[in-house]
Chain A
Amino acid sequence: MILRRLLSRVATTLVTLFGVAVIVFAVIRIVPGDPVAMMLPPGATEADIARLQAFYGLDKSIPEQFFIWLGGVVQGDFGTSITTRQPVLGLVLSRLPATLELSVMALVIAVALGGLVALTGTRLRYTRTEGALDVANGMALSVPDFLWGLVLILLFGVLWPVFTISGRVSPQLVPEFATSFFLFESVVRLRFDLWLDLVQHMLMPALALAIPLAAIIGQLLKQSLKETMHLDYVTLARTKGYSENQVILREALRNAVLPTLTLIGVQFTFLIGGTVIIERLFSYEGLGNMAIDAVINRDLPLIQGIVLLFALLFTLVNLAVDLLYAVLNPRLRHA
């Protein structure tokens, strides 16, 4: 059962990825102007243009071009960046760790904050505190990460400047590490000064990304928790003499958490999507910032690569969530 589900899910994922490739290719192809003309210096001869066109396969039909391009992408050839003249794949992969670390940090903050809101709201249910939390939660929910980022810059960058609001790491501390997972590697290498500096840079952008997600988690988890609190087994736990806190944390939480987990999975992709503008806002050197630079420089192969990488990331996260859900949900597990 699980295997069949897995196979059909992988199949739809492949269809989605193919569709993504078609769209990205189509969008880039409708760009006005000849892509070759943009690569050549002014004054290039007709023969130069024809040679370059043949080199990139641009003299072939559109479907042929698509499959040549797709064949390259599948083998890891994402083309060459126009501005830096370097392979796109290498450029993109060098920035990916920064974005992943930021996203995971934001996710951790969102889960912690949202969980706290939900637990507090459940513990103090039907009080004014719950009502106030609900109103605040509603606001956090309806204002997107971009605006929270600006608010945080004002609060903690200007009004009370305790956090760094620009960059990923202090220039004098830029490490010579084996990977670009600085946050992770600094722990492994016991460079805690560097780790602290990274966290200090990352905290504000991560918080901006986390606030809307935390609100969603808080809302749904509290709702599930409150529903669970009326169930018989929870009443039973109460009659056994458990305190209210123990009932919530040990009994109710375990059963209420599944819908929230699924939701977190879907929302995590939105969070990753938000890094594009948040990285720009905080001058954080990740993929999103690189994407906007690429757009400004009209470096289409680079944008293409970044969009494809993001799409791959999104589909993989969605796939992982679906499979995780199948494993965690007892009804599906034993079906």
Chain B
Amino acid sequence: MLDGRSLVKRTAGLRLWLSAGWLTALVIGAVLAPWIAPQDPLMQDLFTSRLPPFWMDGAEPGYWLGTDSLGRDVLSRILYGGRVALIVALIAGTATALIGATLGLIAGYFRGWADLVISRLVDIWMAFPPVLFAILLIAVMGTGLTSVVIAIIVIDWTRFARVVRAEAMAQGAMDYVASAQVSGRGRMSTLLTEILPNVLSTITVLLTLEMGIAVIVEAILSFVNLSVSTDDPTWGGMIAEGRLSIHQAWWVLVFPLIALFLTVLSFSQLGEGLKDRFDPVLH
């Protein structure tokens, strides 16, 4: 019988493959951008300004997805913008996971005053609107890739700390941890050899989701012109330009938006898929 759940389950594998496929293509495109980009992403040429994408009348060969109001090639800029997005996803995501998970493990396993301090910090952090907090940090630190990465770590470490703390607490109460300690293991060694391997799957899922969030935060920051320098192409920057010329050249907004949409969706589908894989009850 075909019921509702089976539709979700049957497409789950497909969605996972599509997500992995898009992200792989994106990585390849970003890495090879200097060789495969059809144009120089920064080259302005008013003679080629606002060319439409290839299937429309008036398109020029070599400008597959059209050009923006300064005559810069949209496809090339998307490829180069993908570099920024992926670098931020990778560096900010990993660093956030490391810091947040470490604090979560300490709070959840050692408890006591460490837990008190970390939990109180998490409470305080929850009182800040994340986007506004990020913008405030950038305002103070100045723009640039490093600032963007630091801002993401500072606003998002709580995501990991909260979940990993709860998980470490649950694991810490289990018999296998007690038996490890009875057998004379130190606290630190128990944490690293018993607890950590058991929360690693949760951290991996969160890390995948965090990469998607990092991509979005970078896009938002570059949308308000507070990310990397304005010369470098970013998806958020392209979207901001496209928003202004939306009635004259919709493609300047639409293509980077599609790239961003697919990337964010892929990271989150991948995360959800991993969660199902790791969950012994669902598996």
Taking beta carbons and an 8 Å cutoff, which residues of A are in contact with B? 12, 15-17, 19-20, 23, 27-28, 30-32, 124-132, 134-135, 138-139, 141-144, 146-147, 150-151, 153-154, 157-158, 269, 272-274, 276-277, 280-281, 288, 291-292, 295-296, 298, 300, 303, 306-307, 310-311, 314-315, 318
User: What's the Cα separation between A75 and B215 when bound, in Å?
Assistant: 40
* Among all A-B residue pairs, the 4 with the closest Cβ atoms: A131-B7, A273-B129, A142-B268, A130-B4
Whether B132 pairs with A291 at a CB distance below 8 angstroms is: yes
**How many residues belonging to B are interface residues under a CB distance threshold of 8 Å?**
50
B183 at the A/B interface (Cβ < 8 Å)?
Answer: no
B257 at the A/B interface (Cβ < 8 Å)?
Answer: yes
Residues of A within 8 A of B269 (CB): 142
Residues of B within 8 A of A311 (CB): 127-128
Whether B133 pairs with A147 at a CB distance below 8 angstroms is: no
User: What's the Cα separation between A310 and B265 when bound, in Å?
Assistant: 29
User: What's the Cα separation between A300 and B138 when bound, in Å?
Assistant: 12
19 A-B contact pairs sorted by A residue (CB < 8 Å): A12-B123, A16-B120, A16-B123, A16-B124, A27-B136, A27-B137, A125-B4, A126-B5, A134-B4, A143-B268, A147-B261, A150-B243, A273-B129, A273-B132, A277-B131, A295-B135, A310-B129, A311-B128, A315-B127
B179 at the A/B interface (Cβ < 8 Å)?
Answer: no
Whether B6 pairs with A288 at a CB distance below 8 angstroms is: no
Whether B132 pairs with A310 at a CB distance below 8 angstroms is: yes
B283 at the A/B interface (Cβ < 8 Å)?
Answer: no
User: What's the Cα separation between A147 and B265 when bound, in Å?
Assistant: 11
- Main SS class of interface, B: helix
User: What's the Cα separation between A256 and B126 when bound, in Å?
Assistant: 27
Partner of B128, one of A146, A296, A310: A310
Partner of B4, one of A129, A274, A295, A318: A129
Q: A130-B4, A276-B129, A314-B127 are in contact. Are A307 and B136 (CB under 8 A)?
A: yes
User: What's the Cα separation between A315 and B50 when bound, in Å?
Assistant: 47
Residues of A within 8 A of B246 (CB): 153-154, 157-158
Q: A131-B5, A281-B243, A292-B135 are in contact. Are A138 and B272 (CB under 8 A)?
A: yes
Find the B residue at minimum CB distance from A280.
B224
B182 at the A/B interface (Cβ < 8 Å)?
Answer: no
Whether A295 pairs with B219 at a CB distance below 8 angstroms is: no
Residues of A within 8 A of B260 (CB): 147
